Every structure is written in structure tokens, then in C-alpha cells.
């Protein structure tokens, strides 16, 4: 019986330690992805995670009315392993509380300006006057049309 309890205590201690290790890098002066890196990993975010302040921004655009969803504008660039050309992009990343819900991949250039208006997320390409309003009052729309491209909401 003592071996079982000791084993459980060691397992619990290692889980607590590894959780602290994952989130510790999000709390320091370089707060990777505005402190949301661990939540993205837990939520199985399928994009690249770039923590360099030189090569990425992860900006809280706002929260929908009633704080149901938090919307982030993620812009990044990186050099793939063994690559000679920088890659990059823009994603609109959605959280419910501290839980990653999903994302839309934008197709820049040009970048899309992301703003909030109540329960709506407003997307405006920088090279046109076209605005797209996404209704988040219930849930994120499954598909949107931006810059002539259909973008799908996915994890």
C-alpha cells in the first residue's frame, strides 16, 4: 500500500512540476504569445508557434460583448529548418476564457485589420474598403469570405 501511495505522490509532483515548467516561460518578461502559448498547446493549435518578439505579434483585439470570446491577431514570420526563405502569415485566434477554440488563417499580403464591434469581429483588408463582419453572438462562423478567399474556422 505504501508503494502505491508513494508512486501516486511522485506522479502528482511530476505533473505539477511539468505544468509549472510549461507556463513559466509564458510569465517572464518575454511572455510568449501574450501568455497564451500553453493554452494553445493544450488546445492542439495547429499553427506554428513563434515566440520571438522580432518575428511575431500576438495582440488581443478585444472581447465580444459578455466576454464570451477573446479575439487575437497573430502575425508571424519564421525561417523553416534548412530553409532559405522566410515564411509568415496572419491568423485570427479565438479563445473562450483561457481555452483555445480555433482560428481563421488569413491570406496576406495584404494583412487584414481586425477590430471588434459588440459581438462582431470586423475584418478589413488594408488594400480595400471592403469590411467583413463576423457574428460571434452564438459561436464563430464556420466559413468566412475575406479578400475573395473562403477561410474555414478550424483548430
User: Rounded to the nearest 5°, which phi and psi values hold at 141?
Assistant: -60, 145
Lowest mean pLDDT among 15-19, 66-70, 95-99, 104-108: 15-19
Helix (H, G, I), strand (E, B) or coil at 87: strand
Q: Stretch 4-16: mean pLDDT, rounded?
A: 37
Mean pLDDT value across residues 24-51: 83
Grade residue 8 by pLDDT with cuts at 50, 70 and 90: very low
What is the per-residue pLDDT across 86-108, written as a single tens digit (0 to 9) for each?
999 999 999 999 999 999 999 87
Is the CB of residue 69 less than 8 Å from the CB of residue 101? yes
Query: Three-state SS for 72?
Result: strand
Helix ranges restricted to H, the chain: 2-27, 37-42
Q: Minimal CA–CA distance to 107: which of 136, 155, 150, 78?
A: 150
Question: Does 23 score more than 60 pLDDT?
Answer: no
- Distance of alpha carbon 76 from alpha carbon 87, whole angstroms: 8
Sorted by where each begins, the domain ranges of the chain are 25-152
Give the pLDDT mean for 136-150: 94
What length is written for the chain? Answer: 155
Nearest to 136 by CA among 155, 115, 110, 150: 115
**28 pLDDT above the threshold of 60:** no
Separation CA 121–CA 136 (nearest Å): 7
* Grid cell locating 82: 534548412
- Which residues face 86 on adjacent strands? none
Other CB atoms within 10 Å distance of the CB of residue 105 = 17
Q: Is the pTM of this model over 0.85?
A: no
When the pLDDT of each residue in the chain is averaged and rounded to a whole number, the result is 83
Residues 6+ apart with CB under 8 A from 8: none
Inform me whether the pLDDT recorded for 112 exceeds 60. yes
Per-residue pLDDT at 109: 75
Q: What is the pLDDT of residue 30?
A: 53
Model confidence at 21: pLDDT above 60: no
Amino acid at each position: 500500500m505504501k508503494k502505491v501511495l508513494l508512486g501516486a505522490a511522485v506522479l502528482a509532483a511530476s505533473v505539477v512540476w511539468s505544468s509549472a515548467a510549461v507556463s513559466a516561460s509564458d510569465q517572464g518578461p518575454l511572455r510568449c504569445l501574450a501568455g497564451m502559448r500553453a493554452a494553445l498547446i493544450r488546445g492542439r493549435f495547429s499553427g506554428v508557434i513563434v515566440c520571438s518578439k522580432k518575428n511575431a505579434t500576438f495582440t488581443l483585439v478585444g472581447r465580444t460583448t459578455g466576454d464570451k470570446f477573446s479575439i487575437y491577431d497573430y502575425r508571424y514570420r519564421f525561417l523553416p529548418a534548412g530553409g532559405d526563405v522566410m515564411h509568415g502569415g496572419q491568423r485570427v485566434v479565438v479563445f473562450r476564457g483561457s481555452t483555445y477554440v480555433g482560428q481563421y488563417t488569413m491570406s496576406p499580403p495584404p494583412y487584414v485589420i481586425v477590430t471588434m464591434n459588440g459581438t462582431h469581429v470586423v475584418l478589413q483588408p488594408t488594400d480595400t474598403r471592403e469590411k467583413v463582419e463576423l457574428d460571434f453572438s452564438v459561436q464563430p462562423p464556420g466559413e468566412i469570405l475575406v479578400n475573395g478567399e473562403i477561410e474555414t474556422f478550424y483548430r
